[in-house]
Structure 1
């Protein structure tokens, strides 16, 4: 079908209030908005002022009331425990309502905060929805975060209750959560009234008398007694959750998500961006601790009446690089949303894509990538091996959904490799220089969004209104500063080249590390790579490359380095001054797949650094240090 993107974007641009007012018809409201948008509220205005609503009602109850209670709502697929469980909308409503009854019984009421510190289990989603049912504000903290990081979030959110589990399970290891939770509560000044603990058979824990309650015992008792709760009406402008940024540098920021705009935007995206119809199966291969997990494991699919897959495993190693194809086959997944990092891992272990042929992907239509820059080599590999559209899109924790993309539900427009598409309705994306002036098409600069942000855009930071302004609004007045750098070409396609911190200055030339990574990743022997700016006395900074080769590649290191240097010189030019590429076993990443370039840069510069709280495996930092020491490249 031909794309309706241009006319849809024009309809939003011409009348944003009418556009989002129409989108709001996809949500059930207890009371309608007195104004779709009030520009005088908050920093840049607020959406759906006066409306009363409930997120849990829209995700669950309304589907049951419409006669779809027997429709599949959630699949939990856990290769690490060799188990699969499924829940219909009716079953999920009953469990969430019972959990809400338990939470209410221990004092949780509208506006209270509840921290959820859990692995990828159904109970994590149930807890999120139970909070929303009561009008409480949840804050999910990635399971396994260090005690000090959890304590920071406890002190900021001051939760009435914490919902947690005895452990998380990863390939080859069990992560005991309870000792981390206990230590965090000891450290924190704010103390929860109670903790609900899900006991997992692999590693049960001792409960603290007077504080800890057994999750299963409490919920099963409520279920067996037929006890539940109603959905509490909240204002559309009330928070549904707080999500703290990963805190890889500095104090984490508590991004606030409002209730009404969040629902309207996510419901709209499920149909128009992802191209799903109610009853189909959507899988976001992320974690509920990240924004993707909030938007597209828990909320978006359920708002739209789709089934959602919650996967407790890895793209490789559980058991092999065919894991994703097995999940798609077994659960008839129509669309998969994951990080490019996952596909680079699959490509590294199965470079020919041989394992794909072992599975029936007949229901699978579209692959969506986001979270890290999608290099053209990875997209081309996925396109070739899957023979399906591979759609890159770009968004942030602060926005909650895609800022730019290629909306297959409106009919996809032509893909440009390396670009996460064009601005989505709601986003007026510009590129400015450091003085705030517009730059010509194709010129590298600061990516910003003209205010107001659309529905689901964060209205503030929790308990930090001044930091909200200084971090996002003050640098370019009238715009939201994304802290991403890139270009918009003459056809309106957005290219995100790097975080602004990753733009390096080589002898006065502003250069994108992302552009260099794109070139290096195009080499057939390279699985993944990263480029950082290393301090240089003469030129200010010099690019330093790190790379991981595909499995089975056994090349002379010096020879491969010269090939990469020549490739960058040929594609970008001598101005890049790219001369050094270091082989490493792995790249350090957060558990959501973001490469920790800033930490790698600090190691190379012999600068002090704090171990990132979200790092997947701290041992990788030692590997990076050893690789640099072997080349005398530190300091």
Structure 2
């Protein structure tokens, strides 16, 4: 079966076949890739344990699909184009031949410093080509990469390194985001004080800031690369990996305080990311594809590095932020590089809308063919602005729904194939079987209905486990409803059978497209001196989609509430990172609890949203008068 669907009738046929014969469908799709050894069974699964294995018996190396197979016909085509945070710094381009050589050389750096198949390597780097090179070099030798977003704190990094027991770290002296410098090596040094498992630290020079280098542990990237070249070690055979060997760990917030390491494996992830990239964006050879995400998140893994490179695309990597040096930066990049496909987040779109059209009007956006939205449901106002002012009414918007745990996109229009509707993710990809259920897990059939979104059959990109704690994987995703993967999202299905995601139904917030667990933020707030207890909920935010509203009980009334709020916010930034800093902090004397001690977040969420006259039944609370006081003092 060919990889790409080319019209709506083909989509319908492919979808029907994928539901009636999933193994046959995904077996035929997998034939489009390079395998060292073919599978003897396409799928073995149950959602009870859970146990999910795709392409049993097959072996491969994903980097041969990303790089080697393109050397015959695309060696001189740009694979990666990099645009700096500083618009005056020259951009860099790596052809497939050059990228292959850089990846092989750095793979040898890793090997010469003791890294081997199965080792975990933490990557904490800026958005530079070397991050993509390090990701691919890990995969080349069979090491498991764990990329940590460059905005996380030392404590958050330490938690992730300890959980995965990483033996090596790749970082940089510093990075620039807008006009702000982040001292990555300094933060990493602080993190690994409590991580004796780390034996080697490789440091890329990016910001040229002063760093401390410990003899016997710390090495400079460029010196090691030069050493490999002097030894003639610029080629590296790809390690043969089982289809079910782990490819990477990516940590995501959960409903408990400890981040959980989502594990994706080599074979199924490769097939699914390539299939979804090709079909959703309808990529055409030679096009310039620009995903504005950070490689530190799943979007960057799947749709900056792996998906595009497997398909031989040109992937544009951007180091900066959309508003630096001004709010026209995205449009400058589109104009400069003749970008054909732009994939960004509703938060970025809403942020740029605030600046008006002055930054858009003089930019040539005529090269754009497809627009994409990722990370959170897009609101209608942002959808219309994006459609009218960026796409000029001529570019389909693929509003993609997926998660870290799904590996790739599950529900989305296919560009120029699926009729779109503002705010609707529309229809599932072939091989994806969504259903809506009620609180009891009973399926809600028909159209014009709402419920909790579940998936009833595995797809190749589904997570296999949470690192070192398979029971946590089971309880988080497979125990809520029997024989179903529970997404944690609410959803409506309209009269046309189109899906619209309505937001989280569990204790996870979606802040600027990034999922943050309420418990994680509460744990950080509770570490502040004089805090007795806290409760955190999400509330509607004009830019971020959801903001963080914290209710905090102090041991004594703060003498200076403004300063106390700033100090609590700084504590959260220090422990988790600035992304988790509360937007509003309300000091309260009590929290609405049931007689069994459970906090009624539903009530707190309603108050934070301003819906104070529709709180529902409060008679089951231990002290209903607490609610009146919180309502009166709402920020």
Common fold, TM-score beyond 0.5?
yes
In structure 2, which of residues 454, 457, 464 is the aligned counterpart of residue 448 of structure 1?
Answer: 454
Q: Secondary structure at the match of 2:8?
A: coil
**Partner of 1:559 in structure 2?**
none
In structure 2, which of residues 252, 256, 268 is the aligned counterpart of residue 261 of structure 1?
Answer: 268
**Partner of 2:583 in structure 1?**
621
In structure 2, which of residues 546, 552, 565 is the aligned counterpart of residue 595 of structure 1?
Answer: 546
Cα distance in 1 for partners of 2:478, 2:572 equals 29
**Partner of 2:437 in structure 1?**
432
Q: Tell me by how many angstroms 1:270 deviates.
A: 2.4
* Residue 358 (str. 1) matches residue 362 (str. 2): yes
Q: Secondary structure at the match of 2:110?
A: helix
Cα distance in 1 for partners of 2:307, 2:539 equals 38
Q: Tell me by how many angstroms 1:225 deviates.
A: 3.8
**Partner of 2:480 in structure 1?**
475
The more displaced of 273-282 and 389-398 is 273-282
**Partner of 2:76 in structure 1?**
70
CA RMSD in angstroms comes to 3.1
Cα distance in 2 for partners of 1:335, 1:7 equals 26
Cα distance in 2 for partners of 1:618, 1:412 equals 38
**Partner of 1:555 in structure 2?**
none
**Partner of 1:347 in structure 2?**
353
Q: Secondary structure at the match of 2:332?
A: helix
* Residue 463 (str. 1) matches residue 479 (str. 2): no
* Residue 291 (str. 1) matches residue 282 (str. 2): no
The question of whether the paired residues in 2 share the 8 Å contact of 1:485 and 1:499 is answered with yes
Change (3 A) 1:299 1:604: farther
* Residue 495 (str. 1) matches residue 500 (str. 2): yes
1:435-584 alignment runs, 5 A limit: 435-440=440-445, 441-451=447-457, 453-501=458-506, 548=542
Q: Secondary structure at the match of 1:67?
A: coil
Gaps of 5+ in 2: 1-5, 512-517, 519-534, 558-564, 589-607, 611-628
**Partner of 1:236 in structure 2?**
243
**Partner of 1:25 in structure 2?**
31
In structure 2, which of residues 53, 68, 81 is the aligned counterpart of residue 61 of structure 1?
Answer: 68
Cα distance in 1 for partners of 2:312, 2:289 equals 10
**Partner of 2:595 in structure 1?**
none
Q: Tell me by how many angstroms 1:246 deviates.
A: 4.2
The question of whether the paired residues in 1 share the 8 Å contact of 2:550 and 2:586 is answered with no
**Partner of 1:584 in structure 2?**
none
In structure 1, which of residues 422, 430, 434 is the aligned counterpart of residue 427 of structure 2?
Answer: 422
Cα distance in 2 for partners of 1:205, 1:619 equals 27
Q: Tell me by how many angstroms 1:25 deviates.
A: 1.8
Cα distance in 2 for partners of 1:402, 1:191 equals 35
Q: Tell me by how many angstroms 1:143 deviates.
A: 1.2
Q: Tell me by how many angstroms 1:595 deviates.
A: 3.3
In structure 2, which of residues 378, 385, 392 is the aligned counterpart of residue 381 of structure 1?
Answer: 385
Q: Tell me by how many angstroms 1:243 deviates.
A: 0.4
Q: Tell me by how many angstroms 1:601 deviates.
A: 5.0
Q: Secondary structure at the match of 1:467?
A: helix
Q: Tell me by how many angstroms 1:44 deviates.
A: 4.1
Cα distance in 1 for partners of 2:116, 2:85 equals 36
Deviations 1:309-336 (A, max 9, x none): 11011111x2222211111122222211
Deviations 1:499-526 (A, max 9, x none): 00379xxxxxxxxx99xx9xxxxxxxxx
Change (3 A) 1:119 1:247: farther
Cα distance in 2 for partners of 1:247, 1:141 equals 16
Change (3 A) 1:10 1:294: same
TM (norm. structure 2) is 0.80
The more displaced of 166-175 and 252-261 is 166-175
The more displaced of 106-115 and 242-251 is 242-251
**Partner of 2:514 in structure 1?**
none
Cα distance in 2 for partners of 1:116, 1:383 equals 36
In structure 2, which of residues 142, 161, 170 is the aligned counterpart of residue 135 of structure 1?
Answer: 142
Change (3 A) 1:617 1:289: closer
The more displaced of 378-387 and 622-631 is 622-631
Deviations 1:446-479 (A, max 9, x none): 111103x201111111111100111110110110
**Partner of 2:375 in structure 1?**
371
The question of whether the paired residues in 1 share the 8 Å contact of 2:452 and 2:490 is answered with yes
Q: How many corresponding residue pairs?
A: 548
**Partner of 1:144 in structure 2?**
151
Q: Tell me by how many angstroms 1:261 deviates.
A: 0.7
1:260-339 alignment runs, 5 A limit: 260-316=267-323, 318-339=324-345
Q: Secondary structure at the match of 1:196?
A: strand
Q: Tell me by how many angstroms 1:604 deviates.
A: 11
In structure 2, which of residues 110, 118, 122 is the aligned counterpart of residue 111 of structure 1?
Answer: 118
**Partner of 1:227 in structure 2?**
233
The question of whether the paired residues in 2 share the 8 Å contact of 1:246 and 1:614 is answered with no
Q: Secondary structure at the match of 1:37?
A: strand
* Residue 167 (str. 1) matches residue 116 (str. 2): no
Q: Tell me by how many angstroms 1:291 deviates.
A: 0.1
Q: Tell me by how many angstroms 1:40 deviates.
A: 6.6
Q: Secondary structure at the match of 2:372?
A: strand
The question of whether the paired residues in 2 share the 8 Å contact of 1:80 and 1:170 is answered with no
Cα distance in 2 for partners of 1:13, 1:201 equals 51
Q: Tell me by how many angstroms 1:3 deviates.
A: 1.7
The question of whether the paired residues in 2 share the 8 Å contact of 1:199 and 1:205 is answered with no
Cα distance in 2 for partners of 1:291, 1:466 equals 22
The question of whether the paired residues in 1 share the 8 Å contact of 2:152 and 2:577 is answered with no
Deviations 1:139-181 (A, max 9, x none): 0011131111111111111112100011121122111111211
Cα distance in 2 for partners of 1:248, 1:127 equals 31
Q: Secondary structure at the match of 1:299?
A: helix
**Partner of 1:581 in structure 2?**
none
The question of whether the paired residues in 1 share the 8 Å contact of 2:551 and 2:586 is answered with no
The question of whether the paired residues in 2 share the 8 Å contact of 1:277 and 1:304 is answered with no
Q: Secondary structure at the match of 2:214?
A: coil
